Structure 1
Amino acid sequence: MPYKLSATLSAHSSDVRAVASPTNTLVLSASRDSTAISWFRSSSSSPFAPAAILKAGTRYVNAVAYIQPSPDAPQDTVINIFSLDSPNHEDPQFSLLGHTDNVCALDVSTQGTIISGSWDRTAKVWKNYQLQYDLTGHQQSVWAVLAIDEQQFLTASADKTIKFWIQHKVMRTYQGHKDAVRGLALIPDIGFASCSNDSEIRVWTMEGDVVYSLSGHTSFVYSLSVLPSGDIVSGGEDRTVRVWRDGECTQTIVHPAISVWAVSTMSNGDIVSGCSDGVVRVFSESEDRWVGAEDMKIYEDQVASQALPSQQVGDVKKTDLPGPEALNSPGKKSGEVKMIKNGDIVEAHQWDSSSGTWQKIGDVVDAVGSGRKQLHEGKEYDYVFDVDIQDGVPPLKLPFDVTDNPYAAAQRFLERNELSLNYIDEVVRFIEKNTAGVNLGSGGNEYVDPYTGASRYQGSAAPVPTAAPPSSYMDPFTGASRYSGAPEPSVHVPAPPPSLPVPNIIPFTKFVSFKQANVSAMQMKLYQFDEALRHEISTASLAMYPEEHMMIDEAFTYLSQAISSPTRPSSALGSPHVEAIIQILDRWPASQRFPVMDLSRLVTAFCANAAAAPGGRERFFECLCKASDWTDVQRTKPFSKAQEINMLLLFRTLANAFQEGTPIADGRWVPQVFEALSQAPYNFLTKPQRVALATILFNFSCAYLQTPVATTVRTQHLSLILQLLRSGNNDSEVVYRSLVALGNVAYGAKKHNASIDSTQSQELKQYVAGVPQAFPEDRIKNVVSEIVGLL
């Protein structure tokens, strides 16, 4: 019988990173929501229900293991031990201290010996809840551990190796995987199995021979378990659980989630999975344990409704795809994926050999034709080109993603290989020719950190009329995880009916803010970067201090409530939270600052007075300018990706700083901001950056309508408007926001009886009068007409 859904266990609010099923009636799960849950059912026919929710801190829970109860058992970097029978589920009865970094793997022998693996590159063996051995020898994080017995252990690492230990001595090192090794499982009468980010599962003898390799997963394989029958179960980044028998995949179970982080097996043959959607699922071969037909249909519909990135299922050329009639032919093996064209939609269907049917597993999106992601120096790219520079010399590798700026990619390639930048146009032409037909900058959204396997980070992308498209950013830490900022809010005046006179646009008093966000994803990325810094000896001192971590936690809690609730939380953020952000930005590398910069954007938007202490705004905005490299940016070259996104977030934060009630006449922070913006290399700014910069000027003008400022500050503001308009390469949205800002200030000057200097007024009037020739839109013509009258 095939495996089908038997139970859905929903209580976690974030990714389930580990599962264990020590008995047929008990399941343990660990999650990034900072909890572990024990699920219990009284009989095989009863449903699972949470029996205990275990919480010992605020950090992610990455691993879980079960220890057999015994009379003497007292039943982040700490291993917490709880008694499942205890009424207290917040204070562990025992904690094992010793690791200096994130503990990401646990296993327990039949007699209760614990082995743990950590990002600190060590494994530790604990007997009677006391440290017995340090297993030191891996060069990178220890991602998986296995207790063979009380004296023999296996460890697997991001350094691509597996080590066999007797007590604390390395007896053998197994090499063969091409990427980080993520999971281990004992195989009776043979040896053990391992899985890796290289998408392969290997079965080894203890002597080091590879019995066979299992290929079928299309991305990283995170977890392994073994059924009582000896069949192997695996789960991975391609959102599948696969069952393997005698070297062949006999069933592929697709999940309605991005990642299957963990798998476990029960003695009755059932399979347990933990996923990125926060759900634990149980699958069974026994028909009497399957869910009802209605629940099964709901689950299958969830799977079928998923959107699949084209690189996950293979090369896609829409015009060559067959129609639905292709599903009349049976598949060749379980897990085979076939794509069809159903109208304008590309559907992916998977062959289920157990039922003899094709099952829809989702709609394919972003079918760019680049096929599966290519690995280069441990990172993934859409393309890795071979570039011949000289006969008899090996070709150079040119990695490229569809989201890259071709000029930036060409510049990196030339500089890395010490070639003249005079060739940059030729390299760009090569890229464009070899990616013909690809819509640059519109690649799929499913990217994942290939080193840690951590989750994606995306800004909200709700469409807003007339807004510029969101900018794309490839995570410079991994060369992968896409960070997409939220789209720009628009300044929009509805067009009047043709029969009515055109209403005045000026004064326009409605502020524009950048408040859209996926707070939990932002928080996850920030903590991921913090863990990565803590993981390396050379950067450990840069990681967050406990007090900073507490302040950042409070900030994310406040923002989550502020965004999700129509009423603001009662406890606001203040100077300590801003100070924590400043300290982190001052220390962290440029490539890892962007989630902290984005946090600053939201703190400024939702808690405007957080930096209201004397000198607070000046210090905060000075730090943001420095963190975005604004003060040191090279004017003669395109920006790096890190600079590009950090500057965009700087502009959006400054736009949020000007809102209803902002004290623009107090302190020096406004002239300080305008002075910094006057240094802008406008010719190199991207469209989203220009829109955000224009929004800063617009929002200030709205505040000026209510509050007069010093003449020098207003002069700075008008100079910035003229500088932005004259810089060229502007689109109409940038021009429109800048013009409305100018109109507001001209209107406010009359209202406050503080006329604009005649020289500057004449210069502005002369330039603005010619704008409609370049931008012949009605909204621009109308606002220009009003401005000329006001000046």
Structure 2
Amino acid sequence: MSSPDFKLSASLEEHEDDVRGVAFPHPKLVVSASRDTTVREWKLLEPEPPRYDCSITSHGSAFVNAVAFCPPIKGYPDGLIISGGKDTIIEVREPGREPDKDAEALLLGHAHNVCALDVSQDGTYVVSGSWDSSARVWTVGKWECDALLEGHQGSVWAVLAYDRDTIITGCADQIIRLYTSTGKFLHTIKGSTDVIRALCRVSPKHPSEADFASAGNDGIIRLWRLNGKQVGELHGHESFIYSLTSLPTGELVSSGEDRTVRIWSNNDCVQTITHPAISVWGVAACSENGDIVSGASDKKVRVFSRVKERQAAPDVIQAFEDSVKGSSIPKQQVGDVQKDKLPGPEFLQQKSGTKEGQVIMIKEDDGSVGAYQWSQGNQSWMSVGTVVDAVGSSGKKTDYLGKDYDYVFDVDIEDGKPPLKLPYNLSQNPYEAATKFIQDNELPMTYLDQVANFITSNTQGATLGQASQAPAGSDPYGTESRYRPGESTSSAPTPSLPTSRPKVLPQTSYLSIKTANLRTIRKKIEELNQQLTNEGYRDAVLNESQLAALEAMIKPLEQRLAGTLSGDDTLQSGVDLVMQMVAAWPAGQQLPALDLLRLLTAATPAAAAYRSSEGGTLVDVLESSKVFEDPDRPNNIMLAVRAFSNLFEISDGRTLAEESFDKIHTMVKSAATSPNRNLKIAITTLYVNYAVLYTSSPYASEPRSTDRALTLLDDLSSSLIRSTVDSEAVYRGLVAAGTLLGVGEELPMAAKEIYDLDGALKKAEQAVKEPRIKGVVGEIRALLLDS
């Protein structure tokens, strides 16, 4: 006999921003964490119908997105609420304690946002995951980090304290890792095809005999044994899955970016609870009574129950269902909808669904497109919203990399440097769009809120569908307000994108890429070093003292790149070591060494001062290592070019780059025809830096600067600008060309009469139709006209 459907029990509405994490420790207490910087307790006052009282447990200075509950233990008869977020601090508090009172403990150690927390069932330890690519184990009561779980090569989005001895982590690198609670690495589990965001224990009542489940960005729930064997897959979600939990019945519950909470029995979805929100960030189950709680982007905490006595009054349930029906669903979420070929409303009476959660499109009598979802429990189609075009108020689209977007923003990360491109559709979650933008451009995750706020502040006046259908600033999903990560609701005027940009020519500052996960690079070098040992490359292998020197270099290099280390240089031995690897390691193992070299050239004059035993510079070593003669390894070439670009960060590096111009130019030009996007951007970045150099004192007055500027302009006009369709590479190439026109009087004339720069400008405009391309092309044409 099938279980009855869950129905709304209570809607809890005190949070002022997204509810990112929820816990349901017992029937009389719900805990929630939000981007409004608070952790709140919801205490059950009356069970029938349910009524809750809200109190703030913690009020911090930054958003909170992870919460867990430690069961009652000695000294803490009511248990403990544990939360973490952007400020990197894990806070431990007793329930019912005033937020202005001291916390029971503050756990310090993570370097970035704490995004995952779990507590062992016996309450002996807490495990945390962070954007700093690590997980940590903390002993309850002692409140110290007793184990650092390393080896991850991305953010640790999910952690599971599986039992007293076993910890499982899920990572952005798509790998599941198992450790002992003392920190010993056990093994990895591979099989996911995207970022892993959720883990949960699977009940022994589940027929699959799985030990745990995982889910993430690929929208699939996978069932695993601890030994790594996959024993099942659950399909149904249409987007990212953010959270998983297990019911006392053995069923699983999931939530995600497709606005749903889904209940899974065996391998089947038996109920779909659609929310009137952009994202359902978290879901948790009460192990005592089987009720569930969700936290969503519409600022609300919702409790659902299968027991009629614990369900809300009929009018409250109806209001929730009506809010779902009134939602707008962007066309991008449902694919290409051909309205003329859709069935009419009569289909809903004639045909049944084939599975729970199945969605169909219906052409309504008024010509609109309605979305309907099949409910197995009700044996009927339920309205879940109206499909609308996800366009801005103007209805216009902008092309970027061959795709149409509602907006393609210019994002100024640093003053004086070319802006980066941020494509965005109104149907997207701003938080996820910002995360992808940061990862694509190798920016620090500390920019996340800044970029997400940039998106939301510049799209508040745009709505899904016709602009006249909703007031400016209204939420296209029918909720109270637009998604505003890290901000409270404001009545301030909506800012708009500038209609014109300030001039960018000439470029006056050097460009560099200095972000990296040094711990990951170091681990990879150790792994490859062992591989070389096994393969018999004795002359290339690093010995124990060299590996120790590599480890000793990491912290000062991190400090150098962060600008917190000054005084005598401590990286000379590190430079020598990296140059040895670049020179001696086979091409297949060179990548991490080249990545370190790229960072060292920006961090220390020791890189520019390096001389081999034969007297060769790092440019000579890169030339003799034949990095640029292996087109099948474009990433190696790209990192070498970045190393050349980063030389311009330091005076000694600029001297080396200028003195080695001919060698560098010959090597780089040979790679300019590669179709690799990142390599194209690296090369045009190098050309920008040379352009800045030759328009700066003392080089601007030297005759050879003009000759070299002509060489670069020839490359840019004849090849780099014309043959590239990537907007960032084209933009940087144009900035380099426009800046080079200021090197001397000969440059504008040569650009017009010899190198056909105007033809290259026309080609760029045709290939990339973006405002910033049009703007810099206009500036170049003005310079040519004035000459």
Structure 1 length-normalised TM:
0.53
1:35 equivalent in structure 2: 38
1:401 counterpart residue number: 403
State the distance in 1 between where 2:495 and 2:434 align: 31
Q: Is the 8 A contact 1:534 1:543 kept in 2?
A: no
The yes-or-no answer on 1:162 pairing with 2:161 is: no
Structure 1 counterpart of 2:184, one-letter code: K
2:120 is aligned with what amino acid? S
Q: Quick one: which amino acid aligns to residue 427 of structure 2?
A: N
Q: Verify the 8 A CA contact 1:350 1:358 in the aligned structure 2.
A: yes
Native 8 Å contact 1:534 1:541 kept in 2 = no
* Distance of 2:266 and 2:334 partners within structure 1: 25
**Counterpart position of 1:240:** 260
Which ranges of 4 or more aligned residues in structure 1 deviate by more than 4 Å?
441-444, 450-456, 463-466, 532-546, 629-646, 680-693
Q: CA deviation at 1:82?
A: 1.2
Go from structure 1 to structure 2 and tell me whether the alpha carbon gap of 1:287 and 1:364 turns closer, same or farther (over 3 Å shift). Answer: same
Residue number among 428, 451, 455 corresponding to 1:446 in the alignment: 428
- Counterpart of 1:258 in structure 2 is 278
Give 3-state SS (helix, strand or coil) of 1:164's partner: strand
Aligned mates of 2:517, 2:20 — CA distance in 1: 19
Q: Distance in 2 between matches of 1:192 and 1:32?
A: 29
Q: CA deviation at 1:691?
A: 14
Letter in 2 for 1:5: L
For 1:347, the equivalent position in structure 2 comes to 370
Q: Which moved more, 1:28-37 or 1:236-245?
A: 28-37
The corresponding residue for 2:678 is none
What is the CA–CA distance in structure 2 between the aligned matches of 1:323 and 1:639, rounded to whole Å?
44
Q: Structure 2 matches for 1:623-772, cutoff 5 A? A: 689=771
Q: Distance in 2 between matches of 1:274 and 1:194?
A: 19
CA contact (8 A) 2:131 2:156 kept: yes
Residue of structure 2 equivalent to 1:96: 107
The corresponding residue for 2:357 is 335
1:515 aligns with 2:495: yes
Report the Cα offset of residue 461 of structure 1: 5.7
Q: How does 1:539-618 map to 2 (within 5 A)?
A: none
State the distance in 2 between where 1:7 and 1:644 align: 54
- Mapped to 2, the partners of 1:517 and 1:325 lie a distance apart of 45
Which letter maps to 2:185?
Answer: V
Q: CA RMSD in A?
A: 4.7
Return closer, same or farther for 1:262/1:544 CA change in 2, 3 Å cut-off: farther
Q: Deviations over 1:83-128 (max 9, x none)?
A: 2232344642311111222211111113321111112222111113
- What stretches of structure 2 of length at least 5 have no aligned partner? 81-86, 392-397, 409-422, 437-447, 468-482, 485-492, 499-513, 522-556, 565-601, 604-684, 693-712, 733-757
Q: Paired residue for 1:280?
A: 301
Does the CA-based 8 Å contact 1:263-1:274 persist in structure 2?
A: yes
Distance 1:642 1:84 in 2: 51
Change (3 A) 1:86 1:533: farther
Q: Separation in 2 of the partners of 1:217 and 1:200?
A: 7
Alpha-carbon distance, 1:366 to partner = 2.9
Alpha-carbon distance between aligned partners in 2 of 1:136 and 1:690, rounded to the nearest angstrom: 42
**Deviation for aligned residue 1:643:** 9.3
Distance 1:258 1:90, change over 3 A: farther
**Deviation per residue, 1:230-289 (Å, 9 max, x gap):** 100000111100000011000011000111111101121111111112211111111222
Partner AA of 1:80 in structure 2: E
SS of 1:213's equivalent in the other structure is strand
Change (3 A) 1:85 1:405: closer
Task: Give the total of aligned pairs.
Answer: 474
Quick one: distance in 1 between partners of 2:561 and 2:346? 56
| Aligned match for 1:195, one of 215, 235, 259 | 215
Contact 1:205 1:211 in 2 (8 A): yes
Tell me which residue corresponds to 1:577: none
Counterpart contact for 1:202–1:210, Cα < 8 Å = yes
SS, match of residue 65 in structure 2:
coil
> Is this contact kept in 2: 1:366–1:443, CA < 8 A?
no
- Partner amino acid, structure 2, of 1:446: Q
Distance 2:407 2:275 in 1: 34
Q: Does 2:146 align with 1:126?
A: no
Task: Tell me, yes or no, if the aligned pair for 1:55 and 1:91 is still in contact at 8 Å.
Answer: no
Is the alpha carbon distance of 1:451 and 1:224 closer, same or farther for their aligned partners in structure 2, counting shifts above 3 Å? farther
Distance 1:253 1:545 in 2: 50
Instruction: Give secondary structure in 2 for the equivalent of 1:363.
Output: strand
Cα contact 1:313–1:337 (8 A) shared by 2: no
| Contact residue 357 and residue 373 of structure 2 kept, 8 A | yes
Tell me, in whole angstroms, the C-alpha distance in 2 between the residues paired with 1:360 and 1:536: 51
State the 1:19 CA deviation: 0.6
Which residue in the other structure is 2:8 paired with? 5
Match of 1:319 among 317, 333, 340: 340
1:68 Cα deviation after fit: 2.6
Which of 96, 119, 124 in structure 2 is aligned with 1:85? 96
Partner of 1:460: 459
Q: In structure 1, what is the Cα distance between the partners aligned to 2:382 and 2:272?
A: 11
- Tell me the alpha carbon deviations over residues 653-675 of structure 1, each in whole angstroms, 9 at most, x when there is no partner: xxxxxxxxxxxxxxxxxxxxxxx
- Displacement of 1:314 in angstroms is 3.7
**Matches of 1:290 and 1:88, distance apart in 2:** 31
Taking only the aligned residue pairs, the percentage that are identical comes to 37
Report which stretch shifted further, 284-293 or 156-165.
284-293
* Whole-Å separation in 1 of the counterparts to 2:361 and 2:191: 33
Give matches, 1:14-25, under 5 Å. Answer: 14-25=17-28
Q: Distance in 2 between matches of 1:259 and 1:307?
A: 14
Matched with 1:218 is 238
Corresponding residue for 1:419?
A: none
Q: Please state if 1:186 is matched with 2:201.
A: yes
Q: Distance in 2 between matches of 1:124 and 1:135?
A: 6
Q: Which residue number corresponds to residue 51 of structure 1?
A: 55
Of the candidates 138, 144, 159, which is equivalent to residue 152 of structure 2? Answer: 138
The equivalent position to 2:187 in structure 1, one of 155, 165, 172, is 172
Contact kept, 8 Å, 2:278 with 2:429, in 1: the verdict is no
Q: For 1:280, give the aligned amino acid.
A: V
Q: Shift of the alpha carbon at 1:545? A: 10
Paired residue secondary structure (2:346): helix
Q: Does structure 1 residue 307 correspond to structure 2 residue 328?
A: yes
1:107 aligns with 2:118: yes
Q: Which residue in 1 is equivalent to 2:389? A: 366
User: What is the CA–CA distance in structure 2 between the aligned matches of 1:463 and 1:309, rounded to whole Å?
Assistant: 13
User: Which residue of structure 1 lines up, in the alignment, with residue 672 of structure 2?
Assistant: none
SS in 2 for 1:47: strand
SS at match of 1:515: coil
Specify the SS of the correspondent of 1:319.
helix
Q: What corresponds to 1:291 in structure 2?
A: 312
Matched-pair contact (CA < 8 Å) for 2:203–2:248: no
Aligned partner of residue 258 in structure 2, secondary structure: coil
Change (3 A) 1:545 1:366: farther
Which residue matches 2:551?
none
Partner of 1:701: none
CA distance in 1, matches of 2:355, 2:21: 30
- 1:682 Cα shift? 10
Q: Quick one: structure 1 residues 341 and 14, their matched pair in 2 at CA, closer, same or farther if it must change by over 3 Å?
A: same
- CA separation in 1, counterparts of 2:300 and 2:268? 28
Mapped to 2, the partners of 1:357 and 1:91 lie a distance apart of 53
Displacement, 1:333?
1.2
**One-letter code of the match for 1:119?**
W
Give the distance between the partners of 1:202 and 1:181, measured in 2 at CA.
11
CA distance 1:542–1:105, change in 2 (3 Å): farther
C-alpha distance after superposition, 1:723-749 (max 9, x if no partner) = 79x99xxxxxxxxxxxxxxxxxxxxxx
